[in-house]
Structure 1
Amino acid sequence: MAYRISGLAPETFQALFAYDDTQLAALDIRRLTAADSHGYPCRVSLQDAQQGETLLLLPYEHHAVAGPYRASGPIYVRENAHAAAVFEDSVPPFLHRRLMSARAYDTEGWMHAAEVVEGSALEACITNLLALPQVDYLHLHNARPGCYSCRVDRC
């Protein structure tokens, strides 16, 4: 099953980096510096920020559907993330070392299946979930903190 994993559009976030900390706080956003090179996964570039990089930690509505599965949560965005990453039939390397939750939805945003797998088993999980006839797309989340990571679509 051919699939595409996509990062978020950087245009959605770039103007926020010009805000001062007071303006960001009013929007429930925090500016921070990556303390190390793991643990700050950018939802645009689909890679971990490097130590010393500037990021925003912000609330993001990742599943804007009408119904009970509408969802939002915290995400990181790197200041230097200027293009949305796209991975065709492969999983971004930063996901391989995380415990992941895969949630499978139909075209109307109703969940039909969900799995929790080690990142090293994510490719097989994606293929299995997308093989279900009622499933249109997946959302991947970091299973422990529950943060949205990225979307998976059939190609």
Structure 2
Amino acid sequence: MTLVDAEPGDRVLLLSWQHLDVETPYRADGPIFVNESAKETGVWRNEVPEQQRGRLLSVRAYDAGGWMRDAEVVEGVELAPLVDRYFSEAAVDFLHVHNARRGCYACRIDRA
């Protein structure tokens, strides 16, 4: 399974997704686009999906309690080094990636 952009003519669903269900002020939901023909979610280990490498991304680092510890806007080709930097901090438990321009939620990154 790969994370891919919709092609012209594809039907997509614009949905609200609760991507951070925590009891902190950072609790959040936001827009996601899902291709109507999608059958499953993608899982990648130790790699950045090609589709994310060409985007401007907003990356947010959270601790286990859902408190934001850091955040950065980077080009997708710079995502892997940023992930390494954030996870070098013991307090960072997971990351959320959003498309910076439109704000749509893209994915969650967990420690391997």
Coarse TM-score class (shorter-chain normalised): over 0.9
- The answer to whether the 8 Å contact 2:61/2:96 transfers is yes
Task: Report what 1:149 is aligned to.
Answer: 106
Task: Report what 1:119 is aligned to.
Answer: 76
Asked which structure has the greater CA Rg, the reply is 1
CA apart distance, 1:45? 5.2
Q: Which runs of 4+ in 1 moved over 3 A?
A: none
The correspondence for 2:43, drawn from 67, 73, 86, is 86
Task: Give me the CA root mean square deviation.
Answer: 1.3
CA apart distance, 1:143? 1.1
Cα distance in 1 for partners of 2:17, 2:41 equals: 16
Higher helix share: 1
SS in 2 for 1:87: coil
Task: Report what 2:8 is aligned to.
Answer: 51
Task: Report what 1:60 is aligned to.
Answer: 17
- Determine if the alignment matches structure 1 residue 96 to structure 2 residue 53: yes
Cα distance in 2 for partners of 1:50, 1:130 equals: 34
Cα distance in 1 for partners of 2:92, 2:30 equals: 23
Amino acid across the alignment from 1:117: V
What runs of 5+ residues in structure 2 fail to find an aligned partner?
none
Deviations 1:83-132 (A, max 9, x none): 11011111111111111011000111000011111011111111111111
- The answer to whether the 8 Å contact 2:2/2:49 transfers is no
Task: State the identity as a percent.
Answer: 48
Amino acid across the alignment from 1:112: R
What runs of 5+ residues in structure 1 fail to find an aligned partner?
1-43
* Count of residue pairs brought into register by the alignment: 112
- The answer to whether the 8 Å contact 1:101/1:141 transfers is yes
